């Protein structure tokens, strides 16, 4: 069973940046589809960004386009989420997730399309 471990969260002021990492270990999907999600207290989990195994297909939620960048290094089994120009409304627990579903592209930002989840890392943005 593959395991995902996020890191890089923290507290920043509005306008700041953070880089989240997601390290995969254990029995692997071979280069799975990967996604980043977030969940704020009292809100549903929402997809933030997703990337295909080779990196050719990338998707972003409208709320983060132009500010967040998803990437991956398959040689290191690690995915990344670079977050710039952070806003207080970006405050949430951030999760990475992996999928090997053939129909991933139908809903790349849909949480139901992912089978393996990390434990999450907290991002807090103060105004």
Mean pLDDT in residue range 86-109: 94
Mean pLDDT score of the chain, rounded to an integer?
Answer: 94
108 — alpha (psi -120 to 50), left (phi > 0) or beta? alpha
Mean pLDDT in residue range 78-86: 97
Closest CA to 126 of 94, 95, 93, 86: 86
Query: Does pLDDT of 103 surpass 90?
Result: no
Per-residue pLDDT of 20-72, as tens digits, reads 999 998 866 667 899 999 999 999 999 999 999 999 999 999 999 999 999 99
Stretch among 78-82, 99-103, 113-117 having the lowest mean pLDDT? 99-103
| pLDDT for residue 92 | 98
* Per-residue pLDDT band at 102 (split at 50, 70, 90): confident
Query: Does pLDDT of 101 surpass 90?
Result: no
Give the angle subtended at the CA of 13 by the CAs of 72 and 124, to the nearest 5°: 65
């Amino acid at each position: 069973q593959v395991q995902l471990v996020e890191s890089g969260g923290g507290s920043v002021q509005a306008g700041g940046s953070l880089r989240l990492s997601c390290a995969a270990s254990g029995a692997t999907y071979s280069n799975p589809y990967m996604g980043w999600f977030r969940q704020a207290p009292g809100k549903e989990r929402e997809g933030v960004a997703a990337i295909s195994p080779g990196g050719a297909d990338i998707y972003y939620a409208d709320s983060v386009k132009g500010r967040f960048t998803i990437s991956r290094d398959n040689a290191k089994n690690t995915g990344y989420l670079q977050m710039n120009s952070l806003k207080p409304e970006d405050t949430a627990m951030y999760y990475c997730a992996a999928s090997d579903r053939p129909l991933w592209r139908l809903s790349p930002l849909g949480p139901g399309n992912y089978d393996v989840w990390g434990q999450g890392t907290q991002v807090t943005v103060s105004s």
